[in-house]
Structure 1
Amino acid sequence: MAFSGGKDSVVILDLVKRSGVKYDAHYNITGIDPPELFYFIRDNFPEVERHRPETTIWKLIVKKMMPPTRRVRYCCEYLKERGGAGRRVITGVRHAESSRRSKRGFIEECFKDKHKIYVNPIIDWLDEDVWEYIKTRGLKYCSLYDEGFKRLGCIGCPMAGKIGREKEFARWPAYEKKFRTAFAAAAAARNLKNCSQEWADTHPLLQSWVDGEAMFNWWMKEQKHKDDPDQTVMFE
């Protein structure tokens, strides 16, 4: 089972337990999840196996020499899309979460691994259904929901949109500082590698990413689409 600590995962874990089927639950530590979410999982779900990635988002930003974006989410590939090979993976994906997820099915074959099957048992549940189940069953949930957060995921996730990230950075300013520091290092690495002015003239982004501040400002304005709460789930 793919466990993220969000309300949908809490429901799925309870359903799996009640079903009596054999299972094991896994949480991929991204390093940029809200601290409250990490401690909620640690303190309330000791049976969930926690996995640390081989790298960090900060190192990835410098290595890729660019920010993670909606179109280029290398962060998910390295920090979330791990495990579950050749297995049935239960997730809390729901149609109501976004237009993209509205096209998902109850049972799906992983496009990267034909032997890995996703099972999405609450695919047709609405938010109201999820909260009703949590309250009826008396399940614990992360306190961030009571602060008004609708989605719980990586801080600074490009899928949260500009407004979502601004809210997250206001709540956890230390992470904004870390992103700015990483972008400064990424811009320096990019400028060092791309020393040819002729080559730079053909790549407009190189001209706008002159330093970390410019890269951060571009990144915060990069979202030109409607905010979408969809994120890549673990094991996807």
Structure 2
Amino acid sequence: MTLQELRERQSWSLEQKIDHSLGTIEAFVSRMGGVDKVYVAFSGGKDSTVLLDLCHKVYPNILAVFCNTGNEYPDIVRFVRQKIAAGENIQIIRPKMTPREVWAKYGFPLVSKESSEHIHDIRINPQSKTARRKLTGDFSLPIKWRYLIYEPYDTTHYCCKILKKNPSHDYQKQSGRFQIIGTMASESQLREKSYIRYGGCNVFGKRPTSRPLSIWCDEDIWTYIRRFDISIADIYYKGAKRTGCMGCGFGAQFTGDPRFRTLLREYPKCYDMVMNYTNNGVTFREALRKVLAVNKLYLPDEQPPTLFDEFNTKAI
């Protein structure tokens, strides 16, 4: 598989992508030994909702598994429970630790998974070859985030592993089932490289996995939702662009990212809860405030007034 081949597939029509995904699902289920040997990793987000709908086209009662991390938007949990109440075959699993416990023990999820891993490795053993590579290599930690190495709190990339990946791996071991997931190569360079390296949507080996949406793009997901009138979680209509963990700091430093504005507006108690998580006596609010300040941004409840605000006040 090459990047050019991936780009060609990403340029297919939605009809071609649907056919490809259905074929991918059927091939994986057959290879694994039947529908009782697989499950759909269902996050409650729009991508996995489309994936589940595709799977239902060929296996109407296929099992879906939702991991309730304790850091999900209330809309997501409500959406999943509505599907269960409607008779869909969904099982709920949970991690062994709460988000509060993970952040207290391992640190805050800040900047990105890659950067937080670099920070962690440098802090653990600053004289190691790994640390030097992550400070001077081609993919080294950006200079503007190096202050995090010396902060009194820890920065972690362990959140996803402990809250999402570990429960899924434990479930697979206990159930003997293999997962079908809704990741897309277009979401990141890492997933793009993974698709090319494994040569397609189905991965067979030590840990078989099916990724039927690999060649889809975000616009395909929305087109599918509109064309087939698919119900999705309400949080998408309240301003959320993505529905990962509601308190995650990865990517929050980008201008225009709405996650914490949305969380504060829709669920102020959840916002306050997340902001008061601590590590080494420091709150997430304090740590996130400094990250945002690097790009001259503010937390939504700390945004200083502007001339536009003053104009609106006078108009009222």
| Fold-level similarity (TM above 0.5) | yes
Does 1:17 find its partner at 2:76? no
Give the counterpart of 2:108 among 64, 67, 70: 67
| Inter-partner Cα distance in structure 1 for 2:66 and 2:194 | 22
Match of 1:117 in 2: 208
Does 1:91 find its partner at 2:181? yes
1:107-186 → structure 2 map (5 Å cutoff): 107-108=202-203, 115-162=206-253, 163-171=257-265, 172-183=267-278, 186=279
CA contact (8 A) 2:240 2:258 kept: no
| Inter-partner Cα distance in structure 2 for 1:118 and 1:144 | 28
Residue 104 of structure 1 aligns to a residue whose secondary structure is helix
| Inter-partner Cα distance in structure 2 for 1:173 and 1:19 | 41
Letter in 2 for 1:181: N
- Kindly state the Cα deviation for residue 161 of structure 1 after the two structures are TM-superposed: 1.9
CA shift digits 1:30-73 (9 cap, x unpaired): 11111011101111244211112222011122222x21233232
Structure 2: tracts of 5 or more residues without a match: 1-39, 117-155, 196-200, 297-316
- Kindly state the Cα deviation for residue 216 of structure 1 after the two structures are TM-superposed: 4.4
Match of 2:89 in 1: 47
Letter in 1 for 2:207: K
Give the counterpart of 1:34 among 32, 51, 73: 73
Structure 1: tracts of 5 or more residues without a match: 189-208, 225-236
Match of 1:7 in 2: 46
Q: Pick closer, same or farther for the CA change 1:160–1:125 going to 2, 3 Å.
A: same
CA contact (8 A) 1:5 1:37 kept: yes
Q: Which has the higher helix share?
A: 2
| Inter-partner Cα distance in structure 1 for 2:207 and 2:191 | 19
CA shift digits 1:155-209 (9 cap, x unpaired): 12122323344324423332332233322xx233xxxxxxxxxxxxxxxxxxxx5
Q: How many matched pairs? A: 196
- Kindly state the Cα deviation for residue 101 of structure 1 after the two structures are TM-superposed: 2.4
| Inter-partner Cα distance in structure 2 for 1:168 and 1:222 | 21
TM-score by length of 1: 0.71
| Aligned residues: CA RMSD | 2.7
CA shift digits 1:93-121 (9 cap, x unpaired): 11222333222321236xxxx53212111
Match of 2:311 in 1: none
TM-score by length of 2: 0.55
Provide the identity percentage. 29
Match of 1:218 in 2: 290
Higher relative contact order (CA 8 A, sep 6+): 1
CA contact (8 A) 1:87 1:115 kept: no
Q: Pick closer, same or farther for the CA change 1:180–1:15 going to 2, 3 Å.
A: closer
| Inter-partner Cα distance in structure 2 for 1:161 and 1:29 | 22
- Kindly state the Cα deviation for residue 24 of structure 1 after the two structures are TM-superposed: 1.9
